[in-house]
Amino acid sequence: MLDQTRAPLYEALKEFNQKRVVPFDVPGHKRGRGNPELTEFLGQQVMNIDVNSMKPLDNLNHPSSVIKEAESLAAEAFGAHHAFFMVNGTTSAVQAMVFATVKRGDKIILPRNVHRSVLNALVLCGAVPVYINPEMNKRLGISLGMSIKSVAQAIAENPDAKAIFVNNPTYYGICSDLESIVKLAHKADMYVLADEAHGTHLYFGENLPQSALAAGCDMAAVSMHKSGGSLTQSSILLINDKVNPDYMRQVINLTSTTSASYLLLSSLDLSRKHMAINGKEIMERVVDLVKYARDEVNEIGDYWALGSELVDGDAVFAFDDTKLTINTLDIGLAGIEVYDLLRDEYDIQMELGDIANILAYVSIGDRKSDLERLVSALVDIRRRYKKDKTGMWTQEYVNPDVVFTPQDAFYGEKEAVSIDDSIGRVCTEFVMAYPPGIPILAPGERITKDIIDYIVYAKEKGCLITGTEDLEVKKLNVLKERRVYGG
């Protein structure tokens, strides 16, 4: 057992900060002296520890001392064989998992409602996606988890696939039956990779859905900066003993910066310490806060703060009770419209708003008074803005028709056409509402009228549509050729 009260990287930085080292290395601001305005804005302490890799502080690309110790502590805290600190966001952790298991031409089974980082990885490595279209909740307009029947069918039809990718949980708190998926995958000699960007807390709380590593997954990418309390862009990649940690380090270093931020690294070290020591109590308090808010919202009328009533033992195997997702359609407003009202008129910033829901991300830093303010604002919005809901859309996901691999489409010869003229063509870029960052269209998918109608509706309601070369999303890039996939 390691001492989880230790924070070796943080301790090394504190010791370094007490010395009067003359910096003839980068960064060029030289402990803040070179940029007084920035130092005044961020604070001297921040500038003092914004340093470069050096022997006393170890090197993230080849750790041998304090970073290695900090990663070992994280591995133990999460119940992993090895942990890697990531400073390029969970995107880099997700992509490292993909790069380590599949290469050009290899198949990977995945739900279509994955984050764009997964499909970006396929663009880069050339692997072939085998999509499992997720189940849908039509009232909420959100995609759910993967049914075991769908996973078993995908494995039977693609026995040569190298890996299965899962979300645990989805942005909205939906969890699949991971243990059963792992058993099916491992029996077929496939790796199981988990995107746990929204599931860091599952490793520390009680009476929450099972974490990926506890369920037997081979790798998991956890966004420590979300529910774990570290700085934005800091993340941890976890692996079990089936994965070679030395090879994984090489894969990570293909895309990782060689100038890792010690602000991010020390925040990972300290947030791991905090969660390892206090995580159980913290998550118990978070669950209580969300339960309070969920009950209060559901008392208002017309709103639906969804919860464990969704659990069906299959596509919704479990529900993450820390998630506060609120369906807004019965007040006649899209989620993104309520999202905008909360920010612009009530100074409340939600995590996301889609065409049917809003999501409040409740974590270790929230207070009951903050949730009371949210509930009061929702009462007021209903009173002031409620209208007839006729014509409101609910669909968050349109099943894609995959024609080419993401890599072949992205790097293929392309042309820009108006969004109306794109119907029937093959898209070569991403189109997504952000957040949550789940592509409406990905490279290699055929554009249909339903998809275009959805994009236009989402734009009209105020969703931020991203991923396209044309920032106004009036044009889409499509393949010049129209031959069929595999032709």
User: pLDDT at position 482, please?
Assistant: 53
Residues 6+ apart with CB under 8 A from 348: 342, 373, 374, 377
Beta bridge mates, 445 = 402
Pair type for strands 191-196 and 219-222: parallel
Domain 406-479 is in which class? alpha beta
Domain 8-276 is in which class? alpha beta
Share of the chain above pLDDT 90, in %: 87
CA distance 268 to 247: 23
Is it true that the peptide bond before 134 is cis, omega within 30 degrees of 0? no
For the chain, give every domain's residue range.
8-276, 406-479
- Average pLDDT on 179-208 reads 97
Residues 6+ apart with CB under 8 A from 342: 348, 349, 350, 358, 374, 377, 381
- 141, pLDDT greater than 80: no
Q: For 18-67, how does the pLDDT look when each residue is reduced to its tens digit (9 = 90+)?
A: 998 999 999 999 999 999 999 999 999 999 999 999 999 999 999 999 99
Across the chain, mean pLDDT equals: 94
User: pLDDT at position 122, please?
Assistant: 97
Q: Is 476 in contact with 153 (CB distance < 8 Å)?
A: no
- 487, pLDDT greater than 60: no
In Å, how far from its chain's centre is CA 452? 25
Beta bridge mates, 196 = 222
Q: For 387-438, how does the pLDDT look when each residue is reduced to its tens digit (9 = 90+)?
A: 999 888 776 567 788 999 999 999 999 999 999 999 999 999 999 888 777 8
Q: What is the largest CA-CA distance in the chain?
A: 68
In Å, how far from its chain's centre is CA 250? 23
Enter the pTM of the model: 0.94
Beta bridge mates, 83 = 238
